[in-house]
Structure formats: structure tokens, C-alpha cells
Homo-oligomer: A and B are copies of this chain.
């Protein structure tokens, strides 16, 4: 942490992704990929329900302990299980949203994750909430960075030009 800011150093953007809803995930990825395409160094820090976005779509429910196991059945996660924060209507609204996005050639969440990795965006699960929910690095899809704690986030955020909590 010498932090000698060299003139050619990239401006940073840090996004906390707290929410695990489809619409908020799309907003987070649009802003992150836009930032990266404009030359910013982007870090996305996934915590609480946001961890669901990075969970494997298959398996990955091996939380330890009875209470955590119960909770992980409810809070299954995976990019394909995200729902809209409004108008979900037992899945109908979410399905309509996905159709509209597909028709308009917007990327899906899986495509956004691949794009993000290709653009050098760092996708980091929060170790504190991983601990709460009984998740390990193995719970997440490939390409996700190692888990890191809140101190890592705060350190990124205080160097960043743009910090958002989504």
C-alpha cells in the first residue's frame, strides 16, 4: 500500500453489489462495463444477495450446518435464478424482461459476466457474508477472483473516483 499515484494510473470505479435482483444486476454490469470501456479500472464487490449472481447454476448448495443448509435452499442463487425487484409476478415479469432484452440484443447476465472478465473487471465475493452464508470459493463460477473482506472494499473505494452501492 505505498500508493504513489503515477500520472498514467487508471481511474478506479468500485461497485458494491448488495442486491441479487435481475434488474439491479443488469444496472451494475451496464455501469461497470461502460466504466471499463472508458478506460477505468473497475472492481465489483459482491455481498449478501449479490453473491447469488456469481453462484454456480448447478450444485453449490453444500453449506455446512443445518440452519445454513435451510437458508441456502431458499437463497439458491445462480445467474439464471435472478428475479426482478418489481413485477416479478411469479416469474412472468422476469420472463418478459428477459424476452425484451433478448429481442433487443442486450447481453444476458452470463454474457455480462464473460464480458466483464474479458474487460479486466474484477469480480470479488465478500468474505464476511460468505462466512455468514457458509459459502466458499468453490460455490462460485469460474473466473471469479478470490474472496476478500470489507477492508479490501473500503481501501478500493477510498481510491476510487466513483463508488456505488447497488
Contact = CB atoms under 8 A, between A and B. Distances in A.
Interface of A: 11, 13, 16, 18, 20, 23-24, 27, 30-31, 34-35, 37-38, 40, 47-49, 65, 67-68, 70-71, 74-75, 85-87, 89, 93, 96-97, 99-101, 103-104, 106, 128, 131-133, 149-151, 153-155, 157-158, 160-166
**Residues of A contacting B: mostly:** helix
Given A67-B96, A74-B93, A97-B71, A38 B155 contact: yes
Q: Which of A96, A100, A103, A155 has the most CB of B within 10 A?
A: A100
Nearest to A87: B74
A75 B87 contact: yes
